[in-house]
Structure 1
């Protein structure tokens, strides 16, 4: 057995996608060594939130050596559904937009619409960096982002690497 195939990998994926076989093919990780955390997005909005807690526990308890944050190129259908629902809450949205702009500097986006519909690449890159730079994640754990684009029927992969600060 190849040593590379024996290592455990954690995949943070979108809740609506089932990419087990594709991810297995891309990474050469055996199914029994693949752990998955699913969430909408995928997104880690808080480096000390529940998703990050699950990632850290998986690293130590399951001896995870690689983490992949996996998403698709912008899903316009999802964005449209979110926007339709938000139209019925215009007053709440105006209040939140005000708070986003004036009271909560930790929000990187200026409006609720921008926050909910963040670009896939930016969202995945942000997640990769949160995991990679987290003080409880060992330096030997590899963190990568994968963006899957199914435009022509064949998945093409764009890898997102963590930003290394010196």
Structure 2
């Protein structure tokens, strides 16, 4: 396959302006960039929706390289999401207790041990990226030839490499 048909997949969070920063820093043309966005670049389950999208993209879009990209910003600040949910909706407490029960008793279907852990995005961006890279690298359906990179973008738009 010639270079102009090679596509690169970016797993990113929903930070604004990331696409142009990544294009500029990686010299990859927009038509060769495929982007999967989430609230954070965390793959919470090796057989979940995000990983499914990555695998389908690899085979259907001729992906040869994957970048897992996170940002360091205020969204990474520790927030007690469970308390926030309860304060927004008074009937939510019983629902959260039910879901917490499922997390504790229905493993391995759920990532984490509680709703709080599952929804928490306060983990260090580099650590989240490393964990996602590890899930991609170890997945049995991801070919060995896939090049995998981790990047963190700071508030100034500067990139730092994350090493496995």
The reply to whether TM is greater than 0.5 is: yes
Instruction: Using the TM superposition, give the Cα deviation of residue 16 of structure 1 relative to its aligned residue in structure 2, in angstroms.
Output: 4.8
CA RMSD of aligned residues (A): 2.8
Instruction: Using the TM superposition, give the Cα deviation of residue 80 of structure 1 relative to its aligned residue in structure 2, in angstroms.
Output: 4.3
Aligned pair partner of 1:137 in 132, 136, 142: 142
Q: Residues 44 and 111 of structure 2 are in contact (CA less than 8 Å); yes or no, is this contact kept in structure 1?
A: no
Unpaired segments ≥5 residues, structure 1: none
Taking a change above 3 Å as real, the CA distance of residues 28 and 81 of structure 1, as seen in their structure-2 partners, is: farther
Cross-structure match for 1:40: 39
TM-score by length of 1: 0.76
Taking a change above 3 Å as real, the CA distance of residues 39 and 108 of structure 1, as seen in their structure-2 partners, is: closer
Taking a change above 3 Å as real, the CA distance of residues 160 and 104 of structure 1, as seen in their structure-2 partners, is: farther
Written as runs of structure 1 = structure 2, the 5 A alignment for 1:140-159 is 140-150=145-155, 154-159=156-161
Instruction: List per-residue Cα deviations over 1:105-159 (Å, max 9, x = no partner).
Output: 5456443223211413332222111111111111110112212111xxx223232
TM-score by length of 2: 0.77
- RCO (CA 8 Å, sep 6+): is it higher in 1 or 2? 2
Unpaired segments ≥5 residues, structure 2: none
What's the secondary structure of 1:41's corresponding residue? coil
Cross-structure match for 1:85: 85
Q: Residues 69 and 151 of structure 2 are in contact (CA less than 8 Å); yes or no, is this contact kept in structure 1?
A: yes
1:96 aligns with 2:95: no
1:64 aligns with 2:63: yes
